[in-house]
Amino acid sequence: MPGAYCFIEYGGPETQQLLERPMPTPGPGQLLVAVRAAGVNPADWKVRSGARRATVPVTFPAVLGREVSGVVTGVGEGVSGFSVGDAVFGATATGFGGYAEYTLTDASSTALKPSAVSFADAAVIPVAIGTAYDALTQLDLRAGSTLLVVGAGGGTGQSMLQLAALRGVSVTGVAGSAKRELVESLGATWVESGQHLLSRIPGTVDAVFDAVGADLSALVTLVTDPKQLISIGNTTGAQELGGSGVTRRRTSEVFTEIAALVAASKVDPHVTARLPLSRAGEALALVESGHSTGKVVIEVS
């Protein structure tokens, strides 16, 4: 049976185990994918902890991870546009995880991988880059607008820096000093994170994209319209202040648009760590530290 990195009950890293799991069978509208790479995200440990049990129901043992790239090895009923042998990437289907040799995706949330995009880069498109892409669409910023990105060196933050710069938006990125070089290399003005953040930010901005979830009541004072505050670190907190979270579009169309940007070298996913499935626990620990730079990927084959 194929291997998969699972958690056997809600809790900490001690609940994680590499297990053998039955080969998944694609249902209507689904694809069976031989995984080549899986993206690692904070949502993975949050689901494992039980914090997401109201919105992400699981059956134990549950396979970790929400996004993959790989090769189609099976096609469910009613699927068009995909064939066995296609290189693809996408979000995993409900009840299936990414840290695995084989998984299922919904064809509607899967896209063909351009040959110019590596499996590792493609695997991190659906969550981090996709979230930044959707947030930027929601903020509807034009060239010359100003944007503050908090958590600028992480997976979503660095994606937002690049996508906003492509639109001609002037970006300020808040991150720890270890991430200064990365933030500046992506065209943003770096501001050090930490206490009394507002004292280091001159004036107001047209929008704030927050990937951390702290100090929202201070951050909202930087925008004229509170709707221009988006927080993915604390969606409820942003909503209480008149802002919002991100409305995600996990569609083949959106994923294809982003992959074209990566293929054209307009967006670099910044995969900074690649670990094999046998070291999936270490990969997740890097992200669970809360201070990772760029993206962490599990390479499966």
Q: What is the dihedral of CA 146, 150, 155, 158, to 10 degrees?
A: 30
Provide the CB-side half-sphere exposure for 286 (13 A, CA).
21
Write out the two tokens for 6.
């699972």
Q: What's the closest the beta carbon of residue 298 comes to ligand NAP, in angstroms?
A: 15
> Is residue 222 part of the contact set for ligand NAP (CB under 6 A)?
no
Q: Which is nearer to ligand NAP, 61 or 233 (CB)?
A: 233
Q: Does 123 bind ligand NAP (CB under 6 A)?
A: no
With binding defined as CB under 6 A, does residue 183 bind ligand NAP?
Answer: no
CB of 152 to ligand NAP, least distance (A): 7
- For the CB of residue 74, give the shortest distance to ligand NAP in the complex, in Å: 28
> Residue from 206, 245, 261, 298 that binds ligand NAP (CB under 6 A)?
245
Residue in 68, 88, 92, 38 with CA at minimum distance from that of residue 298 = 38
19 to 58: interface string for ligand NAP, x by CB under 6 A: ----------------------xxx--x------------
CB atoms within 10 A of CB 6: 22
CA distance 270 to 124: 9
Judged by DSSP in three states, 95 sits in coil
Interaction residues for ligand NAP, span 129-168 (CB under 6 A) = 131, 150-151, 153-157
Contact present, 105 and 68 (Cβ < 8 Å): yes
One residue of 146, 228, 252, 292 binding ligand NAP per CB under 6 A: 292
Least gap, CB of 26 to ligand NAP (angstroms)? 25
> Are the C-beta atoms of 210 and 238 separated by less than 8 Å?
yes
- In the list 180, 248, 274, 279, the residue contacting ligand NAP (rule: CB under 6 A) is 248
Which residue shows structure tokens 């699972």? 6
Distance CA 106, CA 268 (A): 25
The footprint of ligand NAP (CB under 6 A) covers 41-43, 46, 127-128, 131, 150-151, 153-157, 174-176, 179, 193, 211-212, 214, 232-233, 245-246, 248, 287, 290-292
